[in-house]
Amino acid sequence: MKIQHLVALFAAAVTFTACDDTTDTIGASLSNLTDAVEVGTASFDIPSNSILADSVLSNSLTGYIGKVRDPETGAYITGDFMAQFTCLEDYQFPDKNNLYGRNAHGKLEAGLVNADSCELRLFYRGFYGDSTRTMKMKAMEMSQTMNEDRSYYSSFDPLEQGLVRKDGAQATKVYSLIDYNLPQNVRDSSNYTPYITIKFNQPYTDKNGKVYSNYGTYVLETYYEHPEYFKNAYTFRNHVVPGFFFKNVGGLGNMAYISDSQLNVYYHQKHQYSETDSVNGEPVTVKKDTIFQNVTSFWGTEEVLQTTTITNDKSTLEKLVADQSCTYLKTPAGIYTEMTLPVDDITKGHENDIVTSAQLVVPRLNNTSTSEYAFDAPQKVLLIPKDSIRSFFENNDIDNNKTAYITSWTNSGDNSYIFSNIASLVTSMKNVDKAKRSTNWNKIVLIPVEVSTTSTYSSYTGQTSTVTTKVANDMSLTSTRLAKGTSQNSPIKLSVIYSRFK
């Protein structure tokens, strides 16, 4: 049998057996494949400890607004966020002559450029905490655009950095996450996405001192003076609307997960339509006019920036990091778990062998909190080398099953985070020149993440495949304890399969 065939058969067998929780019978079962391959197994203790995540790259597609108290520690966590808005390519408002605005007497008049009203809507598809609690936020116009020529971390506060206009558009909103203004049947509808509305109908003064009836009128007049500013997302955010910063200024008890943001400008316009009428018994086409209210919406999308600012109680997090009874995974911008792979021990005596499989099992400890608002455990966890944390997120990398792995946890089974095969990572660490090894050369870190995917259908195979498009730091409220790994008799195990050709 050819060597390449042996390799293919062996790899297939390892893939099948790697899903098993034990390696007791792996050697015997694989040896039956062929007498040309020798197989060995071993298990290694993995030590671990908690490390402070501090500030993380804030490039999540979700914005977080609110303030809560961690039921596990009693510490406060606050979320504020900045959102930008985009416009369609070469967007056009109606011809100015077809625009109707209200004159000094409140009557609609042709050719007047003013908006009826303007509002911001913040749609949320999830939240943490008590939805009936009364909260208070302040929406503030940015003084300049936060462009994507740098990385923004969760500790970056646009207000502290002087990026918010002190005399710009501002509005305060008192809200609850249940909108009691809507009937119950509307709120319960599957087509309903709850949102928070912030009105901007007060007079607005731009940077040049020009006064407008409201913020929407400013957007309209800017278009008719400079339509080139509405060419694309870049010109719009750099010349018209640089974005808004949403800051929690009151209330305690919930955190809203903002999935979409929307700037709406309402105005009246003339619409001409044709209608068939009868004159002397003969059908004729008559052109008629109607005046109706229209709305233009500018959305927050992936084309523009959205960042979240997280304020944590650092002293409380440091106490958890010092806890030697366990380790933690805690978000947002909280705690990671670091582990050390005994690469030299793994390869000792196996210098010429292939590490075919390396399964890592990290047991989770059940939450002892009895609070109904206890944080959920992170659902998806990324494993990467410690030295790669910053570059992984800043380069928008995704898991590749070579140096970056993602696993999921569900509230069932053996209550562990299981990485079925990190052999490629072990091998890459083994190949690091000893003279060039850094302090962290064999350290890996578990990081809770948010994963975005897309599905594609193949008409050729008739199957749908899911592809990861983005991996970002999980900025939602999660927490879990993990079993503390030790250098001897560790509850965290790495089960290794070696192979060699005779």
Picking from 277, 311, 345, the residue at the C-terminal end of a domain is 311
Looking at the structure of the chain, the number of domains it has is 2
Question: Which of 41, 57, 192 minimizes the C-alpha distance to 124?
Answer: 192
Kind and range of the H or E run holding 325 = none
DSSP H or E segment with residue 412: none
- Show the domain range for 333: 3-54+314-501
Same domain flag for 202 and 159: yes
CA distances from 487 to 44, 285, 338, 341, 497 (A): 9, 89, 13, 10, 20
- Let me know whether 346 and 305 are in one domain: no
| Residue-by-residue pLDDT tens, the chain, 502 positions | 444 444 444 544 544 444 444 455 544 554 455 567 789 999 999 999 999 998 999 988 899 999 999 999 999 999 999 999 999 999 999 999 999 999 888 899 898 999 999 999 999 999 999 999 999 999 999 999 998 889 999 999 999 999 999 999 999 999 999 988 888 898 888 889 999 999 999 999 999 999 999 999 999 999 999 999 999 999 999 999 999 999 999 999 999 999 999 999 999 998 876 677 776 777 777 677 788 899 999 999 888 999 999 999 999 999 999 999 999 999 999 999 999 999 999 999 998 899 999 999 999 998 877 788 999 999 999 999 999 999 999 999 999 999 999 999 876 677 999 999 999 999 999 999 999 999 999 999 999 999 998 888 777 777 888 889 999 999 999 999 999 999 999 999 999 999 988 7
Closest to 66 (Cα-Cα) out of 253, 300, 312: 253
Tokens of 389: 């944390």
What are the DSSP calls for 75-110, one per residue?
Answer: -EEEEEEEE-----TT--PPPGGGEEEE-TTS-EEE
Do residues 111 and 189 both lie within one domain? Answer: yes
Amino acid letter, 267 = Y
Domain stops at, among 263, 295, 311: 311
Residue 445 lies in a domain: yes
Q: Are residues 375 and 418 in the same domain?
A: yes
| φ and ψ of 35, to 5 deg | -75, -5
Specify which residues 268 forms β-bridges with: 100, 293
Q: Which two tokens stand for residue 414?
A: 């053996």
Could you say which of 289, 311, 333 is where a domain stops?
Answer: 311
Let me know whether 426 and 462 are in one domain: yes
Residues 338 and 276 in one domain: no
420 in a structural domain: yes
User: What is the predicted pLDDT for the residue at 275?
Assistant: 72
Residue 286 is predicted with a pLDDT of 66
Nearest CA to 244 out of 402, 366, 81, 131 is that of 81
264 with 385, same domain: the answer is no
Q: How is residue 177 written in tokens?
A: 């996450």
Contacting residues for 279 by C-beta, under 8 A, at least 6 apart: none
Identify the CA nearest to 83 among candidates 64, 104, 66, 69: 64
Q: CB of 69 within 8 A of CB of 75?
A: yes
d(CA 143, CA 166): 8
* 270 lies in the same domain as 340: no
246 and 282 in a common domain: yes
CA 220 to CA 87: how far, in whole Å?
A: 13
**Nearest alpha-carbon partner for 138 in 85, 78, 86, 187:** 78
- Is residue 114 assigned to a domain? yes
Q: Which amino acid is at 29?
A: S
Q: Which position has the token pair 């936060």?
A: 146
Closest C-alpha among 215, 17, 192 to residue 114:
215
For residue 353, being part of any structural domain is answered with yes
Strand, coil or helix: 421: coil
Under a CB-based contact definition with an 8 Å cutoff, are residues 174 and 136 in contact?
yes
Identify the pLDDT of residue 24: 52
* Residues 324 and 390 occupy one common structural domain: yes
- What pLDDT, on a 0 to 100 scale, did the predictor assign at position 14? 47
Residues 302 and 433 placed together within one structural domain of the fold: no
pLDDT in the model for residue 463 = 82
On whether both 362 and 493 belong to a single domain, the answer is yes
Residue 336 contacts residue 474 (beta carbons within 8 Å) = no
Single out the residue of 133, 194, 126, 242 nearest to residue 474, CA to CA.
Answer: 126
Q: What's the confidence (pLDDT) of residue 355?
A: 95
Q: How many whole angstroms from its chain centre is CA 291?
A: 42
What residues contact residue 422 under an 8 Å CB cut-off, 6+ apart?
Answer: 358, 359, 360, 383, 405
List, in sequence order, every residue forming a beta bridge with 100; answer none if it has no partner.
110, 268
pTM of the model: 0.87
